[in-house]
Amino acid sequence: MYTLHYAPDNASLVVRLALEELGLTYRTELVDRSIRQQKSAAFLRLNPAGLIPVLETPQGPLSETAAILLWLTETHGAPPSGRPLAPPPGDPARGPVLKWLFWLSNSLHADLRIVFYPQQYVGPDIDAMEALHAGVTRRLAGHYTLLEALVGQPWFGGADPTILDLYAAVTMRWAALYAPMGAWFTAADYPGLKALVQRLETRPSVQAAIRAEGLGATPFSAPKPCQPPEGTAL
Ligand SMILES: N[C@@H](CCC(=O)N[C@@H](CS)C(=O)NCC(=O)O)C(=O)O
C-alpha cells in the first residue's frame, strides 16, 4: 500500500496518474498548502526539500517526481492492460526515455517553477519579475517546440502512455493555467501535443484524477482552474 502526499493540481498529480495507470492501490494524504504544510516539521521529515509530492513506500518516503515515476515503473513493470510506462533496462528505447525524463524534470519543470514563483527568484520588484518572465517564457516556448517534435516517437504520444506523456501533459495544464505575470501558453500552438493530451483525457487514469482533484473535463487540452473536493492548489 502506498501513501501519496498530494495537493490538488501539484506535481503529485503526475504520480497519481502513474499509480492509476499501473492499477495500484494507494491512499492519499492532503498537504494543505494554505497553511504551508509542505514546510511543516512532519512533512520535512518525509522530504527535507519541503516539496510535493512524496510517495510513502514500504522502502521509505520517496520524493522528486521523476524519481518516483521511474521507481514505480521499475517496481511494477507493465500495467494490467498494456506495456510498461517506461522501457525496462536493456530496451534500446530506455536511453532516450531517461534522457527526456530528466530533461522534463530539470529543464521544463524547473523553468516552469520560475514562472509560477518569480518572487522566489528576484524578490518583489515588478520590473525584475517582468524581465524574468519574458526571458523564461521564451525559453519555455523553445522547450515545448522540442517536445512537439518528439510526438510520434514510439515512447511519446502513442496509444499506450509512458511516464513522459503523463509528465508532459500535466506541465501543459500548469503552463496554461498558472500565469501570474500574464498568459503565454496555449495547447493550440502545439497540435501534436494537443492530440497527445486529448487522447490521454479519455483514459480511466485521467478520469479518476479529474474526480479526485476537481480538474474539469478537459484538464490538459483546455484546462480550467481546479475545484478540488479538499485542499487548495496553491
Ligand atoms: N523537483 C521537484 C519539484 C516539485 C515542486 O515544485 N513541487 C511544488 C508543487 S507542484 C511545491 O511543492 N511547491 C511548494 C513550495 O515551493 O513551497 C519534483 O520534481 O518533485
pLDDT tens sequence across 163-175: 999 999 999 999 9
Question: Ligand 1, closest atom to CA 52?
Answer: 12
Asked if 159 and 6 count as a contact pair (C-beta separation under 8 A), the reply is no
Q: Determine if the peptide bond prior to 204 is cis (ω within 30°).
A: no
Instruction: Say if pTM beats, i.e. exceeds, 0.75.
Output: yes
Q: Which residue has the cell 501539484?
A: 10
Question: Ligand 1, closest atom to CA 63?
Answer: 20
Residue 35 confidence (pLDDT)? 97
Compute the distance from residue 43 Cα to the ligand 1 centre, in Å: 13
Question: Ligand 1, closest atom to CA 68?
Answer: 20
Q: Is 227 exposed, middle or buried (0-12, 13-18, 19+ CB in 10 A)?
A: exposed
User: At the topology level of CATH, where does 2-213 sit?
Assistant: Glutaredoxin (3.40.30)
Residue 89 confidence (pLDDT)? 93
**179 phi, psi to nearest 5 deg:** -135, 75
SS3 5: strand
Residue 119 confidence (pLDDT)? 95
Rounded distance, CA 21 to CA 17, Å? 6
Low-confidence ranges of the chain (pLDDT < 50): none
Residue 80 confidence (pLDDT)? 77
Compute the distance from residue 13 Cα to the ligand 1 centre, in Å: 11
Asked if 225 and 214 count as a contact pair (C-beta separation under 8 A), the reply is no
Compute the distance from residue 91 Cα to the ligand 1 centre, in Å: 31
Residue 126 confidence (pLDDT)? 96
Residue 229 confidence (pLDDT)? 94
C-alpha dist (Å) from residue 122 to 36, 50, 113, 183, 211: 21, 20, 13, 20, 37
Residue 79 confidence (pLDDT)? 84
Q: Is 77 left (phi over 0), alpha (psi -120 to 50) or beta?
A: left
C-alpha dist (Å) from residue 81 to 21, 78, 101, 132, 160: 9, 8, 23, 44, 9
Task: Round to the nearest angstrom and report the end-to-end CA distance of the chain.
Answer: 27
Compute the distance from residue 58 Cα to the ligand 1 centre, in Å: 23
Question: Ligand 1, closest atom to CA 105?
Answer: 19
Instruction: List the one residue out of 193, 180, 167 whose CA is nearest residue 233.
Output: 180
Q: Which residue has the cell 533496462?
A: 89
